[in-house]
């Protein structure tokens, strides 16, 4: 800042009776002015024709307007935070009254409901990406070998990928002449813009680029391996130099842009640690401010973006796009539930829970652990390289050991029908929907269009693995294993068919006033966070007809015209998704938190070790945290409306009998596949066989696996069995190798 300007500012402060500005404050003002001038220079074609004084005056006025807007938003967000605090308090109080538990336990249940809410937001958002998915899967113009690769390993269609990227950069203007790519890009841009506006309406501050937004997932390890000078040399030709201007509107020189990129290199290579002072607080700020920072790297076009991603990107462009949608959905869920600063909200709630009853735990975990999982703190890798190493190790175990997982999954039929009965849905209708979902593309398209997304479509393949499969080489192999084994098809079909049945059941219920619902139905809705006010919105829905049957869909709810329809849609989709994951077991929040070692962060030694140890334990833990816990906690309706499955004895008995009987099928199938005779189920080995069937069905979970496995069934004997069960499959593989080595050494001696 010019000395005369400093003197003027200090004089104005003195005249206003305020303290003189510090050097740091003066530097901040100077930086603000410089940034405003650069932005105006890029946007105003006549900027360079102005005199220096005119430019300073215009920038000062714009900066004041921006600051006034920020101040107003800050006040508005503070008020909104108070409203959301009151709403959070009411929810927790209501849950505590329903469950007659501690405040800490009620807080955990509220966090679990928030996880379902986030899932509902994401499901509907991904439903808007179907044209993009069509573009991804298009094989037009590809060779037979490429088509095989696309089917087996999710490889992309190179020309289509380039065209989609180009259309996104150019805001889907049709310049490529590729209609499929244009429609895919338009769907993506519409979805992220809808999410951006919704996030900002809840107090967020995410700006919009004048060209189409594509995430930039940098691979920090590859960037570091290249070194600063080589990385800067590589990226310089790809930049849109018109974006890098000085305060007077002239373009930055090569040396100035290089200096700018060198600073960007330090941030990317250190994964942001260069911006953190040693020993400083590393907590997150207001969630509403996430995304408010302006982008620093601007590529000149889609080809430049794709070339850079090829050299230094992490994952595919589609992975990055869907991941961005998921991140926006998480942000929306958090700010809509807890206000513009969810982290501050949680600090308050943790303190209140601590004062109310001490360190109450759910599944031996404190509420903070659940929060780290649902907020994404545990999933954000501290070291991308270490996180990738851990993920690769787990993916290798997945494609090495889950080739026959679909055989074991026959036990899903037991949980499917138990959950159907628990929700008072028709068994025969559920069976018909299985057939319909398996055979009818129209039925699958109907559900996809209305927010019922197949798990395999969005990469959340964590049913067995306990972690998302990342789309690098190991992730593609793991994904192809689940695809070729028909595991994806089996899981998607059952879960979608249950969701379809649930949509039909909710449509029938929606015709009944809240007060006239059975006590059981009201209790189920309450436990999913759906209130009487929400039900009034659902009652106004204009139900969607499909094949002569009415369904409760997001469009049906919005057609009612309620101002809070977005929130109700998220709750309903979250309810359907959560119940479908009871029907066909998928990890709930408790299981995911346990599987991450209590919310330990990815990319840390402890976090990766915990995830590796807990791999393949998600299914048995989820059986406990979902079904066995629900059997114990099932509410009792005084009006006799509760189904048989609501009573602990009937629920546990039906679940145990069904999963045990079905568990016998994969046991015998594995015997036959391995070339052995079927086990005599009534002879001298009957007790052990049926005990194994219980374990196979989920009844004895991890303990059953460890106690009932025959060490002679696999190489490495007891060392492999014990290590694999207790320490995870990776340790089991190591134990197997050690066991074989010791066995070979013993025989050689």
pLDDT in tens, 419-443: 999 898 999 999 999 999 998 999 9
**Confidence at 12, pLDDT banded by 50, 70, 90:** low
Q: Is residue 742 over pLDDT 70?
A: no
Tell which residue, 327, 348, 287, has the closest CA to residue 110.
348
Instruction: Give yes or no for a contact between 236 and 257, defined as CB atoms under 8 angstroms apart.
Output: yes
d(CA 232, CA 259): 9
pLDDT winner (highest mean) among 61-65, 336-340, 472-476: 336-340
Per-residue pLDDT, 392: 82
Residue 624 gets which letter from DSSP?
Answer: I
Share of the chain above pLDDT 90, in %: 38
Mean pLDDT of 315-326: 85
CA pair distance 526, 569, nearest whole angstrom: 15
Q: Which residues contact 246 (CB under 8 A, 6 or more apart)?
A: 38, 41, 252, 256
- The helix (H) or strand (E) run that includes residue 154 is none
Q: If DSSP codes are grouped into helix, strand and coil, which group holds residue 544?
A: strand
State the pLDDT at residue 409.
75
Greatest mean pLDDT among 377-386, 433-442, 654-663, 736-745 lies in 433-442
Mean predicted lDDT score pLDDT of the chain: 82
Judge whether 678 and 437 are in contact, CB under 8 Å.
no
Better-predicted residue by pLDDT, 747 or 92: 92
pLDDT at position 656 over 80: no
DSSP, collapsed to helix, strand or coil, labels residue 51 as: coil
Query: What does the pLDDT read at residue 261?
Result: 93
Question: Which of the residue ranges 231-245, 330-344, 361-375, 646-660 would you say has the lowest mean pLDDT?
Answer: 646-660
Check whether 745 has a pLDDT greater than 60.
yes
Per-residue pLDDT at 279 = 40
- pLDDT, greater one: 724 or 239: 239
Task: Please tell me the predicted confidence (pLDDT) of residue 567.
Answer: 95
**Considering the entire predicted model, what is its pTM?**
0.85
pLDDT at position 142, please? 87
Residue 571: pLDDT band by 50, 70, 90 thresholds? very high
What pLDDT does residue 332 have?
A: 95
pLDDT band, very low/low/confident/very high, at 651 (cuts 50, 70, 90): low
Q: Which residue has the tokens 């006034």?
A: 68
pLDDT in tens, 599-621: 888 888 888 888 888 887 788 88
Give how far Cα 334 sits from Cα of 110, 281, 535, Å. Answer: 12, 22, 22
Instruction: Taking residues 204-232, report their average pLDDT.
Output: 89
**Lowest-confidence range among 149-163, 380-394, 468-482, 591-605?**
468-482
Q: 85-94, 97-106, 238-247: which range is least confident on average? A: 97-106
- Residue 691: the pLDDT is 74
Q: How many CB atoms lie within 10 A of CB 481?
A: 21
More confident residue, 44 or 663: 44
Is pLDDT at 331 greater than 80 in this prediction?
yes
* pLDDT at 682 exceeding the cut of 80: no
pLDDT at 276: 45
Question: Looking at residue 107, what is its pLDDT?
Answer: 94
Q: Is the pLDDT of residue 283 over 50?
A: no
Residue with tokens 């969630």: 287
Contact 710, 667 (CB under 8 A): no
Helix (H, G, I), strand (E, B) or coil at 144: helix
Higher-pLDDT residue of 396 and 506 is 506
Over residues 453-480, the pLDDT tens digits come to 876 666 554 444 444 444 566 777 777 7
* Residue 531 pLDDT: 94
Residue 717: pLDDT over 60:
no
In sign, the C-alpha dihedral spanning 419, 337, 553, 186 is negative
pLDDT at residue number 701:
47
Q: Of how many residues is the chain composed?
A: 749
Question: Residue 31: pLDDT above 90?
Answer: no
What is the reported pLDDT for 674? 67
Residue 652's pLDDT is 66
- Report yes or no: 185 and 164 within 8 Å, Cβ to Cβ: yes
pLDDT > 60? residue 1? no
Q: How far is CA 699 from CA 157, 636, 653, in A?
A: 45, 24, 11
122 pLDDT above the threshold of 90: yes
pLDDT at 428: 93
Distance CA 475, CA 395 (A): 6
Residue 86: predicted pLDDT: 96
- Helix 701-708 × helix 686-697 angle, to 10°: 150
What's the rounded mean pLDDT across residues 125-147?
89
């Amino acid at each position: 800042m010019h000395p005369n300007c400093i003197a003027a500012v200090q004089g104005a402060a003195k005249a206003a009776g305020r303290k003189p500005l510090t050097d740091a404050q003066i530097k901040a003002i100077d930086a603000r002015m410089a940034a405003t001038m650069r932005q105006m220079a890029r946007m105003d074609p006549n900027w360079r024709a102005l005199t220096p004084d005119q430019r300073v005056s215009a920038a000062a006025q714009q900066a004041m307007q921006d600051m006034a807007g920020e101040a107003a938003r800050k006040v508005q967000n503070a008020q909104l935070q108070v409203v959301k605090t009151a709403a959070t308090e009411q929810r927790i109080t209501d849950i505590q009254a329903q469950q007659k538990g501690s405040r800490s336990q009620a807080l955990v249940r509220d966090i679990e409901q928030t996880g379902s809410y986030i899932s509902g937001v994401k499901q509907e958002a991904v439903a808007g990406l179907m044209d993009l998915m069509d573009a991804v899967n298009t094989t037009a113009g590809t060779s037979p070998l490429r088509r095989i690769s696309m089917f087996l390993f999710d490889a992309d269609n190179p020309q289509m990928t380039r065209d989609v990227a180009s259309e996104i950069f150019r805001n889907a203007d049709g310049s490529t002449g590729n209609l499929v790519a244009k429609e895919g890009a338009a769907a993506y841009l519409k979805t992220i813009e809808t999410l951006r506006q919704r996030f900002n309406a809840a107090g967020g501050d995410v700006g919009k680029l004048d060209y189409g937004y594509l995430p930039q997932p940098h691979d920090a390890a590859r960037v570091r391996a290249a070194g600063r000078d080589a990385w800067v040399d590589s990226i310089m030709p790809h930049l849109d130099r018109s974006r890098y201007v000085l305060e007077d509107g002239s373009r930055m020189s090569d040396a100035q842009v290089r200096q700018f990129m060198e600073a960007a290199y330090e941030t990317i290579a250190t994964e942001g640690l260069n911006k953190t002072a040693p020993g400083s607080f590393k907590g997150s700020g207001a969630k509403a401010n996430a995304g408010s920072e302006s982008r620093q790297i601007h590529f000149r076009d889609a080809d430049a973006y794709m070339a850079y991603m090829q050299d230094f990107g992490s994952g595919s462009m589609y992975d990055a796009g869907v991941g961005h949608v998921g991140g926006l959905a998480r942000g929306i869920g958090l700010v809509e539930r807890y206000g513009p600063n969810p982290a501050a909200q949680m600090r308050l709630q943790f303190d209140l829970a601590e004062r109310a009853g001490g360190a109450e735990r759910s599944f031996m975990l404190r509420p903070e652990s659940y929060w780290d999982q649902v907020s994404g703190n545990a999933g954000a890798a501290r070291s991308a390289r270490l996180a990738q190493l851990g993920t690769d190790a787990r993916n290798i175990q997945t494609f090495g050991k889950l080739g026959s997982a679909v055989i074991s999954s026959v036990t899903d039929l037991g949980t499917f029908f138990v959950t159907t009965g628990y929700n008072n849905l028709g068994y025969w209708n559920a069976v018909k929907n299985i057939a319909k979902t398996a055979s009818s593309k129209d039925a699958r398209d109907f559900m996809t269009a209305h927010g019922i997304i197949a798990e395999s479509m969005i990469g959340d393949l964590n049913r067995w693995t306990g972690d998302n499969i990342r789309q690098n080489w190991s992730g593609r192999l793991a994904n192809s294993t689940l695809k070729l084994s028909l595991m994806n098809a089996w899981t998607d079909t059952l879960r979608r068919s249950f969701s379809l049945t649930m949509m039909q059941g909710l449509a029938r219920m929606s015709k009944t006033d809240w007060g006239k619902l059975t006590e059981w139905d009201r209790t189920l809705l309450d436990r999913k966070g759906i209130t009487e006010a929400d039900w009034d919105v659902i009652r106004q829905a204009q139900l969607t007809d499909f094949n002569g049957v009415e369904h409760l869909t997001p469009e049906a709810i919005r057609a009612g015209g309620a101002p809070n329809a977005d929130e109700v849609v998220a709750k309903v989709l979250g309810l359907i998704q959560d119940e479908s994951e009871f029907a066909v077991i998928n990890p709930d929040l408790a299981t995911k938190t346990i599987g991450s070692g209590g919310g330990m962060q990815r990319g840390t030694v402890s976090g990766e070790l915990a995830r590796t140890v807990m791999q393949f334990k998600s299914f048995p833990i989820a059986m406990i945290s979902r079904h066995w816990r629900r059997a114990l906690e099932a509410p009792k309706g005084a009006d006799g409306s509760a189904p048989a499955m609501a009573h602990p004895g009937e629920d546990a008995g039906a679940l145990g009998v069904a999963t045990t009987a079905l568990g016998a099928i994969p046991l015998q199938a594995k015997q036959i596949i391995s070339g052995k005779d079927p086990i005599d189920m009534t002879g001298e080995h009957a007790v052990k066989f049926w005990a194994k069937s219980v374990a196979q069905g989920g009844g004895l979970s991890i303990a059953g696996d460890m106690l009932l496995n025959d060490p002679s069934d696999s190489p490495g004997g007891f060392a492999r069995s014990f290590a694999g069960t207790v320490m995870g499959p990776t340790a089991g593989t190591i134990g197997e190798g050690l066991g074989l080595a010791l066995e070979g050494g013993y025989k050689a001696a």
